[in-house]
Structure 1
């Protein structure tokens, strides 16, 4: 079965609308502070079918805290590429990387749930021309990523690929 496929080139008017909502300061604040708290429960209860985003495919990433060693659950937008789940560590254009990014660098074996499917995955930060290719897909898929890149200043926004483990 595997993680549900999400084509980043399919495009959607709803995605463009969602990008406009998170393209302003209040929208980013809601998406960063409120939505993740609601989405953890909403995604669990709906078996990965409903989230506050409604227009973007969401997964639940369960990682081990880099400092605490505690399990952390984070809802994230994703798309797929060659069977891998691709996630952008945008942190809504903050000058700092998101916490989950440090967690998967320290402990790359994670659990991901999406669309009713749950599996074990291995995280890998993507670099070079492959990162550039995936970043291009990401900005086509979620146009606000390009704005987040400008807001992030000198920080290069990481692209992380999750490959299912046997």
Structure 2
């Protein structure tokens, strides 16, 4: 039975890799690469993004990758207080068979709620394109943070701006999401 679950998980990861191969930079991607690090954009997007991204995710059938031209996912955590599913659209990077996501909260002083949810309940669901897999989250140690951060900043340069804004206040929570079989 475990072997069947492992085979299905491997097949899902292969389908995700095939899906990711189709993600291409586009005009929206180029605009976000340019605008992302700019303070006026950050000020506006941190207000509209939390409402816009879930709406765009719904409108695109969960595939905001093609719209943004970035590797994007929906991470569904369990609410730390409510116990209810909490979906969060996020950019991610791959690190082998694992996925990495970061909670910058646009460089503001508070950690995003989804990161607290993962600390309370590390098991979550990750949706990339048409595939949803179970993952186990682990807070990255300093070495993993140093290795993965440049990959995240290469995907979205705004992350470096957020890190600069956070200097001396907090370190963004970076999670490594390890797929787990059924």
- In the alignment of these two chains, the number of paired residues is 164
Preserved contact between residue 89 and residue 157 of structure 1 (Cα < 8 Å): yes
Q: Which runs of 4+ in 1 moved over 4 A?
A: 11-16
TM-score (norm 2): 0.77
In our comparison, the structure showing a higher alpha carbon Rg is 2
Alignment counterpart, residue 79 of structure 2, candidates 65, 79, 92: 65
Structure 2 CA distance for partners of 1:99 and 1:150, relative to 1, 3 Å? same
2:44 is equivalent to residue 17 of structure 1: no
1:127-146 residue pairs with structure 2 within 5 A?
A: 127-146=141-160
CA deviation vs aligned residue, 1:34-58 (integer Å, no higher than 9, x gap) = 2332332432453332369613222
Question: Which of 145, 148, 155 does residue 162 from structure 2 map onto?
Answer: 148
CA distance in 1, matches of 2:42, 2:91: 14
* 2:176 aligned with 1:158: no
- Structure 1, unmatched stretches of 5+, are none
> Does the 8 Å contact 1:97/1:157 carry over to 2?
yes
Q: Which has the higher helix share?
A: 2
Note the residue ranges of structure 2 that are not aligned, 5 or more in a row. 1-11
Give deviations 1:8-45, integer Å, cap 9, x for gaps. xxx95864531332323342244333233233243245
Q: What secondary structure, in the 3-state scheme, does the structure 1 residue paired with 2:16 have?
A: coil
Equivalences for residues 26-105 of structure 1 within 5 A: 26-50=40-64, 54-105=68-119
1:109-120 equivalence runs, <5 A: 109-120=123-134
Instruction: Quote the offset at 1:158 in angstroms.
Output: 1.9
Distance 1:45 1:144, change over 3 A: closer
